[in-house]
Amino acid sequence: MAFSFDRYAAIIFIVIGACFIFESRKISETAYGSNVGPDIFPMGLGILLILLSLRLLFETRGTSQDKAATGALDYKKFIIIFAAAILYALFLEKLGYVITTFVFLTIGFQVMEKGKWLKSLVIAGGFSFGIYYVFVKVLDGTLPGFPVFF
Protein backbone atom coordinates (compact mmCIF):
# COMPACT_ATOMS: atom_id res chain seq x y z
CA MET A 1 0.00 0.00 0.00
CA ALA A 2 1.40 3.30 -1.05
CA PHE A 3 1.44 5.77 1.78
CA SER A 4 1.33 9.47 1.14
CA PHE A 5 4.18 11.68 2.29
CA ASP A 6 2.05 13.02 5.14
CA ARG A 7 1.53 9.57 6.62
CA TYR A 8 5.21 8.70 6.38
CA ALA A 9 6.05 12.03 7.97
CA ALA A 10 3.54 11.46 10.77
CA ILE A 11 5.09 8.06 11.54
CA ILE A 12 8.61 9.51 11.49
CA PHE A 13 7.53 12.29 13.84
CA ILE A 14 5.94 9.75 16.20
CA VAL A 15 9.27 7.93 16.31
CA ILE A 16 11.09 11.21 16.95
CA GLY A 17 8.67 12.09 19.72
CA ALA A 18 9.08 8.65 21.27
CA CYS A 19 12.87 8.96 21.13
CA PHE A 20 12.74 12.28 22.92
CA ILE A 21 10.46 10.89 25.64
CA PHE A 22 12.59 7.77 26.06
CA GLU A 23 15.86 9.65 26.10
CA SER A 24 14.62 12.43 28.38
CA ARG A 25 14.00 9.80 31.06
CA LYS A 26 17.75 9.28 31.19
CA ILE A 27 18.44 12.92 32.04
CA SER A 28 19.20 13.27 35.70
CA GLU A 29 15.98 14.24 37.31
CA THR A 30 16.38 17.06 39.72
CA ALA A 31 18.35 20.17 39.28
CA TYR A 32 19.63 21.90 42.34
CA GLY A 33 17.04 24.02 44.09
CA SER A 34 14.28 23.22 41.69
CA ASN A 35 11.70 20.53 41.54
CA VAL A 36 11.15 21.13 37.85
CA GLY A 37 14.04 19.33 36.25
CA PRO A 38 15.52 19.60 32.76
CA ASP A 39 13.61 16.52 31.65
CA ILE A 40 10.05 17.84 31.94
CA PHE A 41 10.01 20.20 28.98
CA PRO A 42 11.34 17.80 26.32
CA MET A 43 9.21 14.99 27.66
CA GLY A 44 6.05 17.06 27.49
CA LEU A 45 6.91 18.18 23.97
CA GLY A 46 7.57 14.60 22.90
CA ILE A 47 4.12 13.58 24.11
CA LEU A 48 2.59 16.58 22.32
CA LEU A 49 4.38 15.71 19.09
CA ILE A 50 3.08 12.14 19.20
CA LEU A 51 -0.47 13.34 19.82
CA LEU A 52 -0.28 15.80 16.93
CA SER A 53 1.20 13.17 14.62
CA LEU A 54 -1.63 10.78 15.51
CA ARG A 55 -4.04 13.56 14.66
CA LEU A 56 -2.34 14.00 11.29
CA LEU A 57 -2.61 10.24 10.65
CA PHE A 58 -6.27 10.49 11.51
CA GLU A 59 -6.80 13.48 9.22
CA THR A 60 -5.08 11.85 6.27
CA ARG A 61 -6.67 8.43 6.65
CA GLY A 62 -7.87 6.98 3.38
CA THR A 63 -5.54 9.07 1.29
CA SER A 64 -3.05 6.73 -0.22
CA GLN A 65 -1.38 8.91 -2.79
CA ASP A 66 -0.30 12.51 -2.92
CA LYS A 67 -3.07 14.38 -4.61
CA ALA A 68 -1.04 16.62 -6.83
CA ALA A 69 1.04 14.82 -9.42
CA THR A 70 3.44 17.67 -9.91
CA GLY A 71 4.91 16.78 -13.26
CA ALA A 72 8.28 15.19 -13.71
CA LEU A 73 10.72 16.34 -11.09
CA ASP A 74 14.29 16.84 -12.13
CA TYR A 75 15.78 14.35 -9.68
CA LYS A 76 18.91 13.77 -11.76
CA LYS A 77 20.06 17.39 -11.53
CA PHE A 78 19.11 17.58 -7.87
CA ILE A 79 20.96 14.40 -6.88
CA ILE A 80 24.13 15.39 -8.73
CA ILE A 81 24.16 18.87 -7.17
CA PHE A 82 23.27 17.55 -3.73
CA ALA A 83 25.98 14.91 -3.87
CA ALA A 84 28.46 17.51 -5.10
CA ALA A 85 27.47 19.74 -2.18
CA ILE A 86 28.04 16.93 0.32
CA LEU A 87 31.48 16.22 -1.15
CA TYR A 88 32.15 19.95 -1.08
CA ALA A 89 31.33 20.03 2.64
CA LEU A 90 33.42 16.94 3.38
CA PHE A 91 36.53 18.06 1.54
CA LEU A 92 36.38 21.77 2.35
CA GLU A 93 38.82 21.45 5.22
CA LYS A 94 41.19 18.98 3.54
CA LEU A 95 41.50 20.49 0.09
CA GLY A 96 40.94 24.10 1.04
CA TYR A 97 38.26 26.58 0.12
CA VAL A 98 39.45 27.79 -3.27
CA ILE A 99 39.76 24.42 -5.01
CA THR A 100 36.58 22.86 -3.60
CA THR A 101 34.47 25.93 -4.31
CA PHE A 102 35.81 26.19 -7.84
CA VAL A 103 35.09 22.53 -8.56
CA PHE A 104 31.66 22.64 -6.95
CA LEU A 105 30.57 25.73 -8.88
CA THR A 106 31.85 24.37 -12.19
CA ILE A 107 29.93 21.14 -11.65
CA GLY A 108 26.88 23.10 -10.57
CA PHE A 109 26.89 25.40 -13.60
CA GLN A 110 27.43 22.53 -16.01
CA VAL A 111 24.68 20.42 -14.44
CA MET A 112 22.23 23.29 -14.69
CA GLU A 113 23.07 23.84 -18.34
CA LYS A 114 25.74 22.12 -20.40
CA GLY A 115 28.17 24.09 -22.52
CA LYS A 116 29.59 27.59 -22.22
CA TRP A 117 32.62 26.15 -20.44
CA LEU A 118 34.65 29.32 -20.55
CA LYS A 119 31.95 31.40 -18.90
CA SER A 120 31.39 28.74 -16.21
CA LEU A 121 35.09 28.50 -15.45
CA VAL A 122 35.53 32.26 -15.28
CA ILE A 123 32.56 32.80 -12.95
CA ALA A 124 33.52 29.84 -10.73
CA GLY A 125 37.12 30.98 -10.55
CA GLY A 126 36.20 34.60 -9.92
CA PHE A 127 33.80 33.67 -7.13
CA SER A 128 36.10 31.27 -5.30
CA PHE A 129 39.19 33.47 -5.50
CA GLY A 130 37.20 36.65 -4.89
CA ILE A 131 35.51 35.40 -1.72
CA TYR A 132 38.76 33.93 -0.44
CA TYR A 133 40.70 37.11 -1.10
CA VAL A 134 38.11 39.45 0.44
CA PHE A 135 37.50 37.24 3.47
CA VAL A 136 41.06 36.28 4.32
CA LYS A 137 43.13 39.24 3.09
CA VAL A 138 40.74 42.14 3.60
CA LEU A 139 38.65 40.98 6.56
CA ASP A 140 41.33 38.85 8.26
CA GLY A 141 39.04 35.85 8.54
CA THR A 142 40.26 32.29 8.82
CA LEU A 143 39.45 29.89 6.03
CA PRO A 144 41.45 26.88 4.89
CA GLY A 145 42.64 28.33 1.60
CA PHE A 146 44.68 25.63 -0.08
CA PRO A 147 45.60 22.00 0.59
CA VAL A 148 48.03 21.54 3.43
CA PHE A 149 50.74 20.07 1.21
CA PHE A 150 50.94 23.19 -0.93
Partner 1 sequence: MEALHFLGDGFSIALQWHNIAFAFFGVLIGTAVGVLPGIGPMSGVALLIPVTATITSGLDPQSAAASSIILLAGVYYGAMYGGSTTSILLNTPGESSSVVTVLDGYQMAKKGRAGAALSIAAIGSFVAGIVSLIGLVLLAEPLSNIALEFGPAEYFSLMLLGLCAVSGLAGSSMTKALMMTVVGLLMATIGIDSVSGVSRFTYDNPNLYSGLEFLTIAVGLFALGEVFKTILEKDNGDGDIIKVKKILPTKQDLKDSAAPITRGSLLGFFIGVLPGAGATLASFFSYIMEKKISKDPKKFGQGAIEGVAAPESANNAASGGALIPLLTLGIPGSGTTAILMGALIMYDVQPGPLLFDDHPEVAWGLIASMFIGNVMLLVLNMPLVKVFSKIIETPKKYLLPIIIAISIFGVYAVQNTMFDLLLLLACGAAGYFLAKHDFPLAPLVLGLVLGPMIENNMRRALTGSDGDFMIFLQSPISLIFLIFALLWILIPVVLKMRGKNVITNEEG
Q: Which of 1, 35, 148, 149 is in the footprint of partner 1 by CB under 8 A?
A: 35
Dist. CA 107–CA 114, nearest whole Å: 10
Q: Is 108 a residue that touches partner 1 (CB under 8 A)?
A: yes
- Cα–Cα dist 108/77, whole Å: 9
Nearer to partner 1, 103 or 150 (CB): 103
Q: Can you list the alpha helix ranges (DSSP code H) found in the chain?
A: 5-24, 40-59, 75-95, 97-112, 117-132
Nearer to partner 1, 27 or 147 (CB): 27
Residue 34 interacts with partner 1 (CB under 8 A): yes or no: yes
Cα within 13 Å of Cα(38), Cβ side? 6
For partner 1, which residue of 2, 75, 118, 148 counts as binding (CB under 8 A)? 75
Report the b/e string of 81-119 with b at 16+ CB within 10 A.
beebeeebeeebeebbbbbbbbbbbbbbbbbeeeeeeee
Under the binding rule (CB under 8 A), the answer on residue 143 touching partner 1 is yes
Binding residues for partner 1, rule: CB under 8 A, are 5-6, 9, 13, 16-17, 20, 23-24, 27-28, 31-42, 45-46, 48-49, 52-53, 55-56, 59, 66, 70-71, 73-75, 77-78, 81-82, 85-86, 88-90, 92-93, 97, 101, 104-105, 107-109, 112-113, 123, 127-128, 131, 135, 139-143
